[in-house]
Amino acid sequence: MVPSSAPVRRVVLITGAASGIGAATARRFVREGWQVVLNHLDGSQSDAAAQIVALATAPGQRAIAVQADVSQDADCVRLVQAAIDTFGRLDALVNAAGISKMVAHADLAGLTTEDFQRIYAVNTIGPFQMTRAAAPHLKAAGQASVVNISSRAGIAGSGSSIAYAASKGALNTMTLALARVLAPEVRVNAVCPVLVEQGFVERLAPESFAQRREHQIKVTPLHRIGHPDEVAEAIHWLTGSASMMTGAIVELDFGLHLNAV
C-alpha cells in the first residue's frame, strides 16, 4: 500500500514578528500549524524571535527567523527568498513592522523631514517593497493573502504623531491599490486597531499610554483596550477564512467609529 503524502502546510511571512502584534500573529499561525517565517530587525530581538521559533513543534512544521530591515529593498527581496528557499512556497504575507515618534500633534516643529522619511520608509514603503517581492510567489500559490497592519490613526488622523498617522493613511490607500492589481490570485486587506497593550506607545511613553488607555476605555462603546492576541485573531481570519474580502480596511476599534455621528 502506498502511503498518502503529508498535507502541504501553508507558509506565512510576518515582518516585525519579534514584538507586539507581529509576535502575537506569529504565535497564532504557529498554533494553527503553518510554516512561519519571522522577520526581526536586529540582534536585540533575536532571543524573542527564537522563542517563537521554538514553538513550532508539530510533525513536519518549522519556523525560521530572518533578520532584515524592511526599509531596505534588498533586505525585502532577501527575506522573501529565504522563505522560498526554506519552504518552496509562500501563501501569506503579514506586514507588521512599524515605527513611530511620539510628538504631540500641535507641536508642528517637533517633526523633521527626516522623521517623516524614516517613518514612511518603514510603515509605508516597507510594506510595498515586501509585497512587490512576494507577489510572484503569492500569485503562484493561488488563494493567497496580504494583510497590512495599519492603525485607526490612519483613518482619524490621530495617534502618536502626525507623521505616523500620515504613514498609516498612505498604507490604507496602498492597500486598496494593491488589492486591485493583485486580484484575483491574492487578496489584500488591512487592519486598523486602536490602542493595544504591549505596543510601542506602552514601551516608549508609559505615562502617555496610561492616559490614552483610560481615555479609550471611557469613550469606546465596549469600554475596552485591546491585546495583541485579539488583533492576531483578526489577521489570521483575514488570511485563512475571509475568502470574500479584499481591499477592506477593517477597524478594530471597540466601536469607537460609532461616536462619529
Mean pLDDT of 63-75: 98
**Which run of H or of E encompasses 81?**
helix 73-87
Mean pLDDT of 90-111: 96
Lowest mean pLDDT among 18-27, 80-89, 209-218: 209-218
The rounded mean pLDDT for the chain is: 94
Name the more confident of 206 and 57: 57
Amino acid 2: pLDDT:
38
Determine the Cα–Cα distance for residues 82 and 63; give it in Å rounded to an integer: 12
Amino acid 203: pLDDT:
81
1 pLDDT tier (thresholds 50, 70, 90): very low
- The backbone torsions φ and ψ at residue 191, rounded to the nearest 5 degrees and listed phi first, read -110, 140
With 80 as the cut, is the pLDDT of residue 213 above it? Answer: yes
115 pLDDT tier (thresholds 50, 70, 90): very high
- 120 labelled catalytic: no
Amino acid 10: pLDDT:
97
Q: Which of 29, 34, 87, 164 is catalytic?
A: 164
With 70 as the cut, is the pLDDT of residue 258 above it? Answer: yes
Where do we find the cell 488583533?
A: 231
95 three-state secondary structure: strand
With 90 as the cut, is the pLDDT of residue 202 above it? Answer: no
Q: Which amino acid is at 105?
A: H
261 pLDDT tier (thresholds 50, 70, 90): low
Amino acid 199: pLDDT:
80
Q: Report the Cα 201 to chain-centroid distance in Å.
A: 16
Give me 127's grid cell: 510594506
Domain 11-198+227-251 CATH class label: alpha beta
Amino acid 4: pLDDT:
46
With 80 as the cut, is the pLDDT of residue 54 above it? Answer: yes
- pLDDT, tens digit, 9 for 90 and up, residues 138-162: 999 999 999 999 999 999 999 999 9
- Percent of the chain beyond pLDDT 70? 97
With 70 as the cut, is the pLDDT of residue 6 above it? Answer: no
30 three-state secondary structure: helix
Amino acid 163: pLDDT:
97
Q: Where are the domains of the chain?
A: 11-198+227-251
- The backbone torsions φ and ψ at residue 40, rounded to the nearest 5 degrees and listed phi first, read -135, 155
